[in-house]
Amino acid sequence: SLTLQRRTIPPHVEAAIRTALQKLPADRFSSAAQFAEALSRTGFTADMAPTVPSAAPARRLLIPDPRSLVPWAGWALAALAAAAAFGGWLAPGRSVELSRFAVNLPAEQAPRTDHDGTSLALSPDGRTLVYVGRGQRGRQLFVRRLEQLEARPIAGTDGAESPFFSPDGEWVAYFAEGKLRKVSLAGGPPLAVADVSSERGGVWGTDDQIVFVSSSTGGLLRVSAAGGSVDTLTTLRTDSGEISHRWPTLLPGNAAVVYGIQGPEGYSLAVVSLRERRQVILVRGASMAQYVATGHLVYATQEGSLVAVGFDPRSLRVTSSPVSLLEGLLVKVTGAAEFSISAGGTLAYLGGQTSGRTLVLVDQTGRERPLTRDLLGLAAPRFSPDGRRIALEALEQRSVAIRVLDTERGTLSRLTFEGQARYPEWTPDGRRIGFAWSRAGTLAYDLYQVAADGSGEPQELYRADNAQWEVAFAPSGRLAVFRESNPVSKRDLWVLPLDSPRVARPYLRTPFEERTPAISPDGRWLAYTSDESSVDEVYVRAFPEPSGRWQVSISGGTEPRWARNGRTLYYRTADSLVAVEVRPGPVFDVGQRRSLFSAPYQRASQHADYDVSPDGRNFVFVKAGPDAANLVMVLGWFEELRRRTQGGAQVDARD
C-alpha cells in the first residue's frame, strides 16, 4: 500500500495508481486521460476502472526499452510529488510533507554550470523552475512547471546566466551579453534593463526595484525593473581589502540587503540597511545567502555546505549558532552557489561539482585531439610565437594562475603564485608574457609581465586608477594595446608605449563596450569587438591611430584572432568559427566569409577564448566536459529546516 509510505495519500489516488500498475492490460486504464481523470475524482475506486471488452481484437503489447524511460523517471516522480503538494491532496491546514528526489534530465535539457553565475531559480510559489540549460546557440534559459514532464526553452535568452524571478512569478530577470535583462514567461522578447560589464547576481524586490551587481570588482546597484537611472547602494571598503560585493538577497520589506563580500581571505556575508547604508559583517567563510520565512539565513560555504543560522531581519543580527543542513552543494570559485528556495519551502539545488576543462587542438576541418585534461578554471589559451608552447590561465585553489604548456614535452609550468592572474599574451620575441593581475590584498587589476621560463618575479607593466585588462603587443615590440574598465565610458581601448615614459593614451573611448583587441601581424590594423549597433560585431580600424572603421562580421561576431600571414581574420559566432579573407593595403578590404566548423567550445564575451597556431593549420580551444551535477528537489523543506535547527544555541541579539 502506498499509504504505508505516505499516510496523506487519499484513497482515490491509491486506487488510481494501483490500477495503473496492474499486470494485465485489461486491468489497467486504456488511456492516460482516464488515469488523469481518476486521479482527480475523490470517489474513484479500483472496481470503477474501465476494462478492455473481451470481444476486442487482440493487440500486440509494445514494451518500451526501460533505458528510454530513465531520463524521464525523475520528472515523473517530480510531477507526482508536485501534484501531491499543489493539487489539493493534503488536508486543509496541513503542511506539505517532506519529500526529496533527484531529477534525471535528458542530456539536451540538462542544467549547464560552465559559467560564473548561478543556474537555478524557483518561483516564489515553488511551482516553476527556471534554469540555465543547453540551447542550440550555447546557454539558454529553460522553464518547467513541476507538474509537467518537459521543460521548454525561453526564446531569445541566448548566453543567459544567474536567473531570478519577479515577486509575482510572471517575469524572470537574468544576465546576458553585457545586459541585465528580463523576459515574461507568458511570451514576448526579452527586454534590457541595465548595462553590466560582468554579472555577479541580482534580486527583484516587491517594490519593483532590482538590486544587482554589474562588475566583478564593484558594489551593489539598484534600478527600477522598468529600467532607468541606476543608484549605487554600496561602495567597496578599500581599507579592509574588499575586492567586490556580489550575490545580493533582499530582506522582508526591502529595507536591507544581505550580500557576499570577496576579500583577500575569501568570502564573507554582510548586511546593509538601505536607509542608513551601514554595512555589518554577519558570517565569515560564506559566499551567498537567502533569508527564509522560518526566521533563518540559509547560506553556502566555499566547501559546498548549506548552512542555516537564526536571523532577526529587524535588528539585522544573527540569533543562533550555525547548523549544517547538507553537504556536496555545487559552489563555484566566484562564490555562486547552486541552490534556490521558494517562499513556501521548496528547495532546489545542484549537488556535485563542475567538471574540469580540456585544452584541445582542432584542425581546419574541426577534428580535435586533447592536449591537457581536467584543469579547473582553464581559459584564455595563447600560442607562443614559435608554436611550441601555450600560455593559459587555470584555477589553483582560490587563485587564478598563469601557466605554460610545453606541447612537445607535455609539461605544465606555473608562473604566478598569488592573487588572480588573467588573460596571458606573449611578447613578439616569445621571452615574456603579459597579463592582468589582481595581487593578493589588492582591489583592481593592473598590467604585469613575467619571464616565460619562470625566472624572476612578475614586473609591473602599467598601473592606473581603473582596472586594466587584455594587453596585446604590437609586432614591433614598442607598443601595446589594452582594455580599461571605466565606470563612465564602460570598456575602452588604450595604447601604451613600452619605452619610457609609459604614458597611455586612449585609442577608443566611447559610450559602447570595446574589447578583445587583436593587432594584425604587420602592426597596421586593430580588430576588436563592439556593441555599438546593440549587437556584438567585429570591427577593424587602423593602428596605432584609429582612423577608418570596417565591419567584419555580419549578424553578430566576437573574439577576433589573426592568422600569422595577416590575410585571414577569424571570429566566432554563437555556434561557429568563421574565417574572413582580408586584403592588406592602404585601405582595409573585407573579402569572403566562410564558416569552418561548429565550435561548441568555451566562450568568453570579454576576451578571445581560443587562438590560431603560427602555421595556421590548427586552433586551440577549451572544451568543457559534462558536469557532474545532480538536480535535487525537496518539497516541504521548511519542516526539515525547523527540525534540524531546533537545538541551535541562541545568540543574544544585543551583543
Res 620 pLDDT > 70 = yes
105 band by pLDDT with thresholds 50, 70 and 90: confident
CB 43 within 8 Å of CB 67: no
**Within 10 Å of residue 409's Cβ, how many Cβ atoms?**
9
pLDDT band at 66 (very low <50, low <70, confident <90, very high): very low
Q: How far apart are CA 48 and CA 40, in angstroms?
A: 14
Residue indicated by cell numbers 563592439: 530
The arithmetic mean of pLDDT across residues 95-111, rounded, is 77
> Using omega within 30 degrees of 0 as the cis cutoff, is the peptide bond preceding 57 cis?
no
- The answer, yes or no, to whether residue 60 has pLDDT greater than 50, is no
What values do phi and psi take at 61, rounded to 5? -85, 115
Residue pair 513/485 in contact (Cβ under 8 Å)? The answer is no
Question: Taking CA 497 as the corner, what is the angle to CA 495 and CA 498, rounded to the nearest 5 degrees?
Answer: 130
pLDDT tens digits for 259-282?
A: 999 876 779 999 999 888 888 999
Lowest mean pLDDT among 33-42, 204-213, 534-543: 33-42
The more confidently predicted of residues 621 and 55 is: 621
* pLDDT grade for 9, boundaries at 50, 70 and 90: confident
pLDDT (0 to 100) of residue 476: 94
Q: How confident is the model at residue 35 (pLDDT cuts 50, 70, 90)?
A: confident
- Residue 373 in this model has a pLDDT that exceeds 80: no
* Of residues 387 and 55, more confidently modeled: 387
- Return the DSSP state at 86: H
Distance CA 91, CA 547 (A): 74
Residue entry with cell 570559485: 333
Per-residue DSSP letters for 196-229?
Answer: -SS---EEE-TTSEEEEE--TTS-EEEEETT---
For 85, 107, 122, 129, 347, the CA distances from 633, given in Å and listed in that order, are 13, 18, 10, 10, 6
Does the pLDDT at position 70 exceed 50? no
pLDDT greater than 60 at residue 443: no
Q: How much is the pLDDT for 397? A: 65
pLDDT surpasses 80 at 229: yes
DSSP 38-76: HHH-TT--GGGS----TTSPP-------HHHHHHHHHHH
Q: What is the pLDDT of residue 438?
A: 83
The candidate with the shortest Cα–Cα distance to 228, out of 258, 248, 208, is: 208
With a cut of 60, say whether residue 65 has pLDDT above it: no
Please name the residue ranges forming H helices in 507-619: none
Q: What is the pLDDT confidence band of residue 470, given thresholds at 50, 70 and 90?
A: very high
pLDDT at 47 (0 to 100): 63
| 530-536: long-range pairs with CB below 8 Å, 24+ | 531/177, 531/178, 536/177, 536/605
Stretch among 31-45, 85-99, 167-181, 594-608 having the lowest mean pLDDT:
85-99
Residues forming a β-bridge with 144: 129
pLDDT (0 to 100) of residue 87: 45
Instruction: Tell me the mean pLDDT in the region 644-651.
Output: 65
What is the model's pLDDT at position 90? 36
CA–CA separation, 546 and 302 (whole Å): 45
Confidence at residue 440, expressed as pLDDT on a 0 to 100 scale: 65
Cα-only R_g, the chain: 28
- How far is Cα 603 from Cα 619, in angstroms, rounded to an integer? 14
Range of weakest confidence among 510-514, 519-523, 568-572: 510-514
pLDDT value, residue 67? 40
Query: What's the pLDDT band for 642 if we cut at 50, 70, 90?
Result: very high
Determine the pLDDT at residue 356: 66
Query: What helix, strand, coil percent values describe the chain, rounded to 5?
Result: 10, 45, 45
**DSSP secondary structure of 285-344:** SEEEEEEETTTEEEEEETTS-EEEEEEETTTTEE-B--EEEES-B-B-TTS-B-EEE-TT
- pLDDT of amino acid 333: 76
pLDDT mean over 452-478: 92
Which of 217-231, 573-587, 591-605, 636-650 is predicted with the least confidence, judged by mean pLDDT?
636-650
Does residue 59 register a pLDDT over 70?
no
Q: Which of 83-87, 234-238, 335-339, 544-548 has the lowest mean pLDDT?
A: 83-87
3-state SS, residue 254: helix
Q: Across the chain, which distance is largest between two alpha carbons, in Å?
A: 99
Is the model more confident about 406 or about 134?
Answer: 406
Give the mean pLDDT of 146-161: 88
pTM, entire model: 0.64
Residue range 332-369, pLDDT digits in tens: 878 899 999 999 999 999 987 555 688 999 999 999 99
On average, the pLDDT of the chain sits at 85
Question: Which residue, among 313, 336, 310, has the nearest Cα to 250 in the 3D structure?
Answer: 313
Instruction: Of 58-72, 428-442, 601-615, give the lowest mean pLDDT range.
Output: 58-72
Percent of the chain topping pLDDT 70: 86
- pLDDT of 69 over the 70 cut: no
pLDDT tens-digit readout, 531-560: 888 788 999 999 999 999 999 999 889 999
**pLDDT value of position 490:** 79
The pLDDT, as a whole number, for residue 80 is 53
Q: Terminal CA-to-CA distance of the chain, rounded, Å?
A: 53
